[in-house]
Amino acid sequence: MTTVSQKSGFFVSVTCPGCGAGLTIDTDFFVLTCDYCDSVIRIKMPDLPPAWLIQAKTKKREIRFSIDRHLKELDRPLTDSSLQYKRIYYPYWKVDAFLMKVRNRIEERLVQVASEDSPEVVSQSDKTDIGISPYSVTIASGPRLPGVPESLGVRSQTIEALPFTVENQQNEFDALEIDRPWSEIKTRIVYAVLSLGDFDSPAFGRNRTDMLYPDYSVIYFPYYLVDTFSGSDYLRFVVDGLSSRVLHCYDPMNQDPPEEGTHAARYLSRAAANLDVSFEKGRGAAAVRTISTGKANDIGIEGLNDAEEETALEFGDLCIELHRCTTCGVDLPETKSPIYICSNCHELKAIEEIKFPLEPILTCRGEITKSSQFLPFWRFQLPPEQAKRLRFIFGGMYMAESMVVPAFKGPNYDALVRLARKMSFAQTRLEFEPLEGNPKGYGQIEVSPAEGVRYMNLLAFREQLVKSGGSKVVNEEFTPVSAGIIYAPFSLENYFYVDSVLKSITFEKQLID
- pLDDT tens, position by position, for the chain (513 residues)? 222 333 334 556 677 877 887 776 655 556 677 878 877 777 777 777 788 899 999 989 999 999 999 989 988 888 888 889 999 999 999 988 888 888 888 887 877 666 666 677 777 788 888 888 888 889 999 988 889 998 998 888 778 888 888 888 999 999 998 888 777 787 788 777 766 655 566 777 777 788 888 888 899 999 999 998 876 678 899 999 999 999 999 888 776 554 444 444 444 444 444 445 554 444 444 333 332 222 222 222 233 334 344 445 667 767 777 887 877 878 777 777 788 877 777 778 787 888 899 999 999 987 777 788 999 999 999 999 999 988 888 886 788 899 999 999 988 888 999 999 999 999 999 999 998 877 777 888 889 999 999 999 999 999 888 888 766 777 888 999 999 999 999 999 888 999 999 999 999 999 987
Cα 390 off chain centre by: 26
* CA gap 93, 29 in Å, rounded: 22
The residues with which 100 forms a beta bridge, in sequence order, are: 132, 210
The residue length of the chain stands at: 513
Contacts of 392 (CB under 8 A, 6+ apart): none
Query: What is the gyration radius of the CA atoms in the chain, in angstroms?
Result: 27
Domain coverage including residue 440: 354-511
* CA gap 119, 112 in Å, rounded: 8
**Is 18 part of a structural domain of the chain?**
no
Contact 380, 477 (CB under 8 A): no
- Same domain? For 373 and 281 the reply is no
- Same domain? For 280 and 364 the reply is no
Q: What is the pTM of this model?
A: 0.77
- Same domain? For 87 and 194 the reply is yes
**Is 50 part of a structural domain of the chain?**
no
Q: Which of 389, 487, 496 is nearest to 440 (CA)?
A: 487
Number of structural domains found in the chain: 2
Domain boundary residue, one of 270, 299, 328:
299
**Is 455 part of a structural domain of the chain?**
yes
Which strands sit side by side in the sheet containing 40-44, from one edge to the other? 31-33, 40-44, 319-322
**Is 331 part of a structural domain of the chain?**
no
Residue 149 is given by DSSP the state -
The residues with which 50 forms a beta bridge, in sequence order, are: 316
* CA gap 461, 393 in Å, rounded: 9
* CA gap 239, 354 in Å, rounded: 45
The residues with which 507 forms a beta bridge, in sequence order, are: 497
Contact 315, 94 (CB under 8 A): no
* CA gap 194, 208 in Å, rounded: 10
**Is 45 part of a structural domain of the chain?**
no
**Is 318 part of a structural domain of the chain?**
no
* CA gap 161, 219 in Å, rounded: 8
Domain boundary residue, one of 256, 283, 299:
299
* CA gap 473, 208 in Å, rounded: 11
Domain boundary residue, one of 299, 314, 339:
299
- Same domain? For 285 and 399 the reply is no
* CA gap 71, 65 in Å, rounded: 10
**Is 29 part of a structural domain of the chain?**
no
**Is 319 part of a structural domain of the chain?**
no
